[in-house]
Amino acid sequence: MSDTSLPPTERASGAKPSLSKSSLSRRRFLNLAGIGAGAAVAGGGAALAAPAAGTPDPNIVPVPDWTKTLGAPVNENPYGKPSVFEKDVVRREVTWLTASSQSSVSFTPLYALDSAITPNGLCFVRHHGGQAEIEPDKYRLMIHGLVDKPLVFTLEDLKRMPGRVNRAYFLECAANSGMEWRGAQLNGCQFTHGMIHNLFYTGVPLKTLLDMAGVNPKGKWVLAEGADAAVMTRSIPLEKAMNDCLVAFGMNGEALRPEQGYPVRLVVPGWEGNMWVKWLRRLKVGDQPWQQREETSKYTDLLADGRSRRFTFVMDAKSVVTSPSPQAPLKHKGPNVLSGIAWSGRGTISRVDVSLDGGRNWTTARIDGPAMPMSMTRFYLDFDWAGQELMVQSRAMDDTGYVQPTKQELRAIRGTNSIYHNNGIQTWLVRSNGETENVEVG
Amino acid sequence: MSDTSLPPTERASGAKPSLSKSSLSRRRFLNLAGIGAGAAVAGGGAALAAPAAGTPDPNIVPVPDWTKTLGAPVNENPYGKPSVFEKDVVRREVTWLTASSQSSVSFTPLYALDSAITPNGLCFVRHHGGQAEIEPDKYRLMIHGLVDKPLVFTLEDLKRMPGRVNRAYFLECAANSGMEWRGAQLNGCQFTHGMIHNLFYTGVPLKTLLDMAGVNPKGKWVLAEGADAAVMTRSIPLEKAMNDCLVAFGMNGEALRPEQGYPVRLVVPGWEGNMWVKWLRRLKVGDQPWQQREETSKYTDLLADGRSRRFTFVMDAKSVVTSPSPQAPLKHKGPNVLSGIAWSGRGTISRVDVSLDGGRNWTTARIDGPAMPMSMTRFYLDFDWAGQELMVQSRAMDDTGYVQPTKQELRAIRGTNSIYHNNGIQTWLVRSNGETENVEVG
């Protein structure tokens, strides 16, 4: 062995290594080394330079190629990309769900993500008429209807408006988990729960713009219209518009991504994603809702008796375990980290409980980081796994006292006709070999 | 005109438009429409459908192409990219600063960013031996030296460690603003201040790993070593290592980017970026610092008398106005938003003052969002610009009472030999035509 087997910074120390390369495979070494507690280096620290015997990890002692040769230059990618080893962490479609790829959805790979922030490149995409590519210089936002002074804003106008803010909010499609109304169907939290993301938005309070236009006392609703080919239109109560909606031009520090409405989208905190109109073109103040297609034929909740709930704007408290999950099976016995996300459109997540036995026993999870209102919250449960079957569930609570219901409780009230507003408790079955699948309890 | 000039959702209303297309250029329209207050639609809201006279904005009335045709499918980019119209928002090098592109730096385009979070693709890159491309399955982290039980961790081991956390921290290179010691030199905050980013890190407290190894009572320092070709090595006081350092594998929700140390980097909150060893390979506990190249020849602060300050770990409170700035000149008189960032390695930003006249008069800026310790904070000042020359400055204060000094105050104490730890107040001169440049106040 050459002395490259020494840590490079200690080569000058004079120690002469005499290392017999282990023939053990990495797998066998890991088995020998035990789980979770790291792998004890045989013979102690000094033995690393010259181990007398034992089974050193073949990946720690020799100097790897990436230490021996210069790497890529600093500006290989002026706009950076993920590692080539992360190429499977991407948005995915379920092609049989939708008829066209322009009016479709691709899902956030929740199983591979952590933290409470979603990376911009992995935010789920839902279009009704394809992704509009808007020239920012030609972008205009019009405010009209029951206002004293109709106004048109350029993008630069919006960026010069007083009172710019940054706020973290989750955006969940009303149809997230929609297929689950009729039983466990999609095998992965990317597909069952992946129509959600959580971002810091930069923008102007909608109230500021409406106040400039001067809302007529008869004004009670605001119509928001998108500039894409679907011309998405939704009616929003004026009270909500004046309370906390944003006209946003930034996400996680940079410009909105094209698929998220570049250059401007509406932010409607805590309310269903369909109302967060992308490529926002027009806001009209009126005295009643407009009864557009997307709030009558769609985005209403058909009940068992044939009647529909409508204007079901708020996304109720919900959670899901993202790991373990079907795309992130358990690989090791011993210590493991259960990780998940929780959110509520009514306020702040105050507590998340986790069950490993299908809802019989519950343990309060550790909520990580500052929990913010109407923003996704990360939770963890550190646990030891002996290899037994698990039925993993999570149950979110918010600061209004609301508790996430079971799917059965939801179905008892709402039937199974709807595809919207399914916030029922999700169950993952972890088999003794670690493979995990979507199941229903009871 | 066809009735496509009507908002599409109102075509059924029966109104017949009769619009004579304006021949005014967009520029003239904007001038006519006034600044900041939006552009009043001639004749009021009803007139939009059929304006009698006036100068309607040619970009709001006709239906644009992007509303007439289907856009791109939902999964054109399984990993998303910025808009084609944002192609200039990239990391940039200053080629004369460094001799090779492997040991160089590319800077964060701060002038184009907002919020307190840096998008992963735009975080500045500083390498000393190129970007190592590490295979995650072969990644190992060794802990040895003055410990009871030397340990080797795989990446999966780290991801199964109890106590995983997410924390937002700024990372600033000690040499950020280093060229400014000898006067205003680089014309843009991307280059003067762009060796900083602010991310949510996912990882394990370093204390957890050290406690598992069992630190010998003689252990006072930790050597952190990177696996890249530079074999970056820095000595870190054990007290800091046990206090708040993280062994991180995630940034802003996804895996670390390759140029940020994939798969694992050290996070040393509030301390100079050089210590946040990327591609972290080894941690050795010792009883004294190792006096490595990067803490003796480099990353020490040469004073006027020839002596050097060393172990100047903490990044003191600092701020910069990102807009207006040389790369983001003022374009419009009237309302404008001054935007900037502030940070402190000693705690939380408690206040930022802004001057428009070179430090004679100061106004307290509006701090946006939750200010977190050792995390970047966004501030705004809404102001009206009449076209006069401005000398824009910002001055950060943290919750220890520390106030960001002027460059002159720094030079009086530290001279101009160093390239490190320049946290002096930055001045931008805004000329009456809006062009902005880097100057010094005498």
Condensed to tens digits (0 to 9), the pLDDT of residues A113-128 reads 999 999 999 999 999 9
Q: Which candidate from A121, A380, A382 shows the least CB-CB separation from B80?
A: A121
Question: Does some domain include residue B331?
Answer: yes
Domain stops at, among A51, A68, A85: A68
| Residue that wins the pLDDT comparison between A431 and A8 | A431
In a mutational test of the B interface, the residue from A31, A70, A118, A232 whose CB has the highest number of chain B CBs within 10 Å is A70
Question: Does some domain include residue B155?
Answer: yes
Q: Which candidate from B119, B127, B229 shows the least CB-CB separation from A254?
A: B119
Chain B residue with the nearest C-alpha to that of A36:
B157
In a mutational test of the A interface, the residue from B10, B66, B107, B278 whose CB has the highest number of chain A CBs within 10 Å is B66
Tell me the per-residue pLDDT of A329-349, one tens digit each, with 9 for 90 and over. 999 999 999 999 999 999 999
Q: What is the CATH number of the domain that holds A256?
A: 3.90.420.10
Which of A73-82, A339-348, A424-433 has the lowest average pLDDT?
A: A73-82
Return the pLDDT at B201. Answer: 98
Whether A278 and A300 map to the same domain: the answer is yes
Residues from chain B that touch A104, judged by Cβ atoms under 8 A, are: 73-75
Question: Does some domain include residue A259?
Answer: yes
In a mutational test of the A interface, the residue from B27, B48, B57, B74 whose CB has the highest number of chain A CBs within 10 Å is B74
Interatomic CA distance for residues A189 and A180, integer angstroms? 11
Residues of chain A numbered 390-429 and touching chain B (CB < 8 Å): none
DSSP state of A405: P
Return the pLDDT at B61. Answer: 64
Whether A164 and A266 map to the same domain: the answer is yes
Residue A24 has phi, psi (to 5 degrees) of: -70, 140
Q: What distance in Å separates residue B301's CA from the closest CA in chain A?
A: 23
Whether A241 and A345 map to the same domain: the answer is no
Q: What is the CATH number of the domain that holds B428?
A: 2.60.40.650
Return the pLDDT at B74. Answer: 86
Reduce the DSSP state of residue A10 to 3 states and report it. helix
Q: What distance in Å separates residue A440's CA from the closest CA in chain B?
A: 27
Model confidence at A22: pLDDT above 50: no
The first and second tokens of residue A287, run together, are 């005295």
Which residues lie below 8 Å from residue B70, measured CB to CB, with a gap of 6+?
A102, A129, A130, A229
Among A22-31, A195-204, B100-109, the range of highest mean pLDDT: A195-204
Domain stops at, among A18, A42, A68: A68
Whether A291 and A173 map to the same domain: the answer is yes
Residues from chain B that touch A370, judged by Cβ atoms under 8 A, are: 370, 372
Question: Could you tell me if A287 lies within 8 Å of chain B, comparing CB atoms?
Answer: no
Return the pLDDT at B59. Answer: 64
The pLDDT confidence band at residue A98, using thresholds 50, 70 and 90, is confident
Residues of chain B numbered 117-156 and touching chain A (CB < 8 Å): 117-123, 125-127, 129-140, 142-145, 147, 149-154, 156
Domain stops at, among B309, B327, B360: B309
The pLDDT confidence band at residue A442, using thresholds 50, 70 and 90, is low
Whether A187 and A298 map to the same domain: the answer is yes
Whether B305 and B325 map to the same domain: the answer is no
Question: Does some domain include residue A97?
Answer: no
Question: Does some domain include residue B364?
Answer: yes
Whether A63 and A128 map to the same domain: the answer is no
One-letter amino acid of A187: N
Whether B128 and B153 map to the same domain: the answer is yes
By DSSP bridging, strand A377-385 and strand A366-368 are antiparallel
Whether A292 and A348 map to the same domain: the answer is no
| B177 touches B222 (CB < 8 A) | no
Return the pLDDT at A220. Answer: 98
Residues of chain B numbered 309-338 and touching chain A (CB < 8 Å): 331-332, 334-337
- Which stretches of chain B drop beneath a pLDDT of 50? 1-54
Return the pLDDT at B30. Answer: 29
Whether B143 and B253 map to the same domain: the answer is yes
The first and second tokens of residue B211, run together, are 């406690």
Return the pLDDT at A74. Answer: 87
Whether A277 and A331 map to the same domain: the answer is no
Question: Does some domain include residue B421?
Answer: yes
Interatomic CA distance for residues B353 and B379, integer angstroms? 9
| CA nearest to B317, candidates B201, B432, B170, B215 | B170
Whether B301 and B323 map to the same domain: the answer is no
The whole domain housing B404 covers 318-439
- The number of folded domains in chain A is 3
Q: ipTM surpassing 0.95, yes or no?
A: no
The pLDDT confidence band at residue A78, using thresholds 50, 70 and 90, is very high
Tell me the per-residue pLDDT of B230-279, one tens digit each, with 9 for 90 and over. 999 999 999 999 999 999 999 999 999 999 999 999 999 999 999 999 99
The first and second tokens of residue A106, run together, are 């691709």
Question: Does some domain include residue A364?
Answer: yes
By DSSP bridging, strand B301-302 and strand B308-309 are antiparallel
Question: Does some domain include residue A94?
Answer: no
The first and second tokens of residue B165, run together, are 């956390």
First to last CA, chain B: 61
Question: Could you tell me if B54 lies within 8 Å of chain A, comparing CB atoms?
Answer: no
Question: Could you tell me if B305 lies within 8 Å of chain A, comparing CB atoms?
Answer: no
